[in-house]
Amino acid sequence: AQKVTQAQTEISVVEKEDVTLDCVYETRDTTYYLFWYKQPPSGELVFLIRRNSFDEQNEISGRYSWNFQKSTSSFNFTITASQVVDSAVYFCALYRSSNTGKLIFGQGTTLQVKP
Amino acid sequence: DTGVSQNPRHKITKRGQNVTFRCDPISEHNRLYWYRQTLGQGPEFLTYFQNEAQLEKSRLLSDRFSAERPKGSFSTLEIQRTEQGDSAMYLCAYERGSPSGNTIYFGEGSWLTVV
């Protein structure tokens, strides 16, 4: 079974705090991709990052960083020094490259950053 | 990166009416996807096209739903005899490949409200 679990439904932090969004996935595929998307109140899904299953290097992009651990099937997302503009729903997704390449999404984590 | 344009952006319709959504790629994309997102949930895969061929349909796509992609360019998603449960955002997505892998980008979505 292919599944993505985002156990945190809602997180509320105060501006400048660091926050980590958890993502755990299940797949039997040996080759796959993991994604994070941001959905601000405007509704569009904004691509943030793609990670290949064979590349376990962590990545940092400005205030954003991602920790991919294949041993625990996790792909967590950390925002450092959060800002009000980071308030959004964040989705983790699994891409099955073995056949159709369709995305399987988690249920999302709503992040509220208060001033 | 909105490489597709979706119309209409918002649609309110009475139960039982038919609606059609259109997705226009800004540039050529071999693969086009349709997803549906209901309130509080992550997007769910509906169907996808490889050029003009519809290669997979989710079980979510009942007989009232039909999608086409004539000539491998724009795509349409039609819902016949709409029901209140069809109220959702319908997302068109495209796939862009690179040497390191494929990324799926989403359009701005079409909101459907069935009253």
Mean pLDDT of A9-14: 97
Identify the closest residue of chain B to A103 by CA–CA distance.
B45
Q: Phi and psi for A18 in degrees, rounded to 5?
A: -90, 150
| Residue A1, pLDDT score | 78
Residue of B49, B100, B106 to mutate for A, most A C-beta atoms under 10 A: B106
Structure tokens at A78: 């950390």
Question: Can you give the three-state secondary structure of A31-87, one letter per residue?
Answer: CEEEEEEEECCCCCCEEEEEEECCCCCCEEECCEEEEEEHHHCEEEEEECCCCHHHC
A33 touches chain B (CB under 8 A): yes
**pLDDT interval class at A99 (50, 70, 90):** low
**pLDDT interval class at A15 (50, 70, 90):** very high
B18: exposed, middle or buried (C-beta count within 10 Å: 0-12, 13-18, 19+)? exposed
% of chain A at pLDDT higher than 70: 97
For residue B45, give the amino acid letter. F
Residue of A21, A37, A45, A90 to mutate for B, most B C-beta atoms under 10 A: A45
| Residue A75, pLDDT score | 96
Between A57 and B40, the higher pLDDT residue = B40
pLDDT over threshold 80, residue A98: no
- What does the pLDDT profile of chain B (115 residues) look like in tens digits? 568 999 999 999 999 999 999 999 887 778 899 999 999 999 999 999 988 888 888 988 889 999 999 888 899 999 999 999 999 999 999 988 877 778 899 999 999 999 9
Between A30 and A92, the higher pLDDT residue = A92
pLDDT in tens, A29-55: 888 999 999 999 988 999 999 998 888
Chain A positions in Cβ-Cβ contact with residue B43 (cut-off 8 Å): 45, 91, 103, 105
Contacts of B24 (CB under 8 A, 6+ apart): B4, B5, B6, B7, B73, B74
| Residue B2, pLDDT score | 64
| Residue B29, pLDDT score | 78
Identify the closest residue of chain B to A105 by CA–CA distance.
B42
